[in-house]
């Protein structure tokens, strides 16, 4: 198995993701070493906390991440690791994102029937109506995934949205664009269905 590396940039739930890969029999590395990240066959960007802090922490690795994607090697963003792939976020207006995906990140503005953060188990619905990359979501349609977030992605290129969940409206929760994948929910906390998504990601790696 070629190297899969979880980017350790000080804003991620590294241990739970690392353990999830162990549960499916896959050894991964956790590293902030630029040489290790550069040589990786696949990168995983986790994330918890605020957008601004995450962007400050990830900025030393921004060029490596962009070059990785440009080299057609798989990348998976999870939760805040999805949001930082976009151009900006309402959470921290003056902090630009990585800009690998066009669009921004918005705060939920919902009535009192819906709690913020959106936390807990929600069913996802696969978007198979456009020409996007659904490969890591094979078998995940209508499965329940675990969410914890107060902000949601607002892609300009809606054709790359691969899944939605219903939380007052159809919230986009997954992206698949060529070799770039990202999830708002936590596959590492989503039981069998989440582990299946991680297996699908591993299967993409040459």
State pLDDT tens for residues 148-182: 999 999 999 898 999 999 999 999 999 999 999 99
Q: Please tell me the distance from the alpha carbon of residue 200 to that of residue 74, in angstroms, as a whole number.
A: 12
Average pLDDT over residues 75-101: 96
Domain extents for the chain?
4-202
Q: List CB contacts of 129: < 8 A, sequence separation 6 or more.
A: none
What pLDDT, on a 0 to 100 scale, did the predictor assign at position 83?
97
Average of per-residue pLDDT across 83-111: 96
User: pTM value?
Assistant: 0.95
Catalytic-labelled residue, pool 68, 118, 143, 188: 188
> How confident is the model over 191-196, as a mean pLDDT?
97
Sequence-distant contacts of 111-114: CB under 8 A, at least 24 apart: 111/168, 113/168, 114/167, 114/168
- Tell me the pLDDT band of 55, cut-offs 50, 70 and 90: very high
Least confident of 39-53, 55-69, 120-134: 120-134
Is 149 a catalytic site residue? Answer: no
- Sole residue written with tokens 């696969």: 126
Strands, E, within 40-160: which ranges? 42-45, 75-78, 88-89, 103-107, 118-126, 144-149, 151-155
Mean pLDDT (the chain) is 94
Distance CA 25, CA 85 (A): 28
d(CA 26, CA 198): 10
Specify the pLDDT at position 130.
Answer: 60
pLDDT at residue 188 above 60?
yes
Candidate list 68, 118, 149, 186, residue with the active-site label: 186
Active site residue 188: yes
What share of the chain has pLDDT > 90, as a percent? 87
At the topology level, CATH places domain 4-202 in Rossmann fold (3.40.50)
79 has catalytic annotation: yes
Q: What is the mean pLDDT of residues 178-191?
A: 96
pLDDT of residue 12: 76
Per-residue confidence band for 102, with pLDDT thresholds at 50, 70 and 90: very high
Backbone Cα Rg of the chain: 16
Residue 46 vs residues 10, 161, 167, 187: alpha-carbon distances, Å: 10, 19, 23, 11
Q: Which residues pair with 176 in a beta bridge?
A: 181
pLDDT at res. 47: 87
Tokens of 81: 């690791």
In DSSP terms, 77 is beta-bridged to 45, 182
State the pLDDT at residue 131.
62
Residue 1 pLDDT? 46
Q: Which residues contact 102 (CB under 8 A, 6 or more apart)?
A: 86, 87, 155, 156, 157
Enumerate the H helices of the chain as residue ranges.
14-23, 34-39, 51-58, 62-70, 80-83, 191-202
pLDDT band for position 129 (cuts 50, 70, 90): confident
Out of 68, 79, 118, 143, the active site residue is 79
């Amino acid at each position: 198995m070629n190297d899969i590396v979880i980017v350790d940039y000080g804003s991620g739930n590294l241990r739970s993701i690392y353990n999830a890969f162990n549960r499916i029999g896959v050894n991964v590395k956790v590293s902030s070493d630029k040489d290790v990240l550069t040589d990786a066959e696949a990168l995983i960007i986790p994330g918890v906390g605020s957008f601004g802090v995450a962007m400050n922490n990830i900025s030393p690795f921004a060029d490596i991440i962009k070059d990785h994607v440009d080299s057609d090697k798989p990348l998976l963003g999870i939760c805040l690791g999805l949001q930082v792939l976009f151009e900006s976020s309402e959470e921290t207006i003056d902090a630009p994102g990585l800009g690998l995906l066009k669009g921004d990140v918005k705060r939920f503005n919902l009535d009192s029937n819906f709690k913020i953060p959106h936390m807990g188990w929600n069913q996802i619905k696969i978007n198979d109506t456009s020409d996007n990359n659904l490969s890591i979501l094979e078998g995940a349609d209508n499965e329940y995934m675990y969410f914890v977030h107060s902000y949601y992605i607002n892609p300009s290129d809606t054709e790359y949205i691969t899944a939605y969940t219903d939380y007052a409206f159809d919230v986009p929760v997954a992206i698949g664009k060529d070799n770039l994948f990202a999830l708002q929910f936590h596959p590492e906390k989503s039981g069998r269905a989440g582990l299946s998504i991680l297996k699908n990601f591993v299967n993409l790696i040459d």
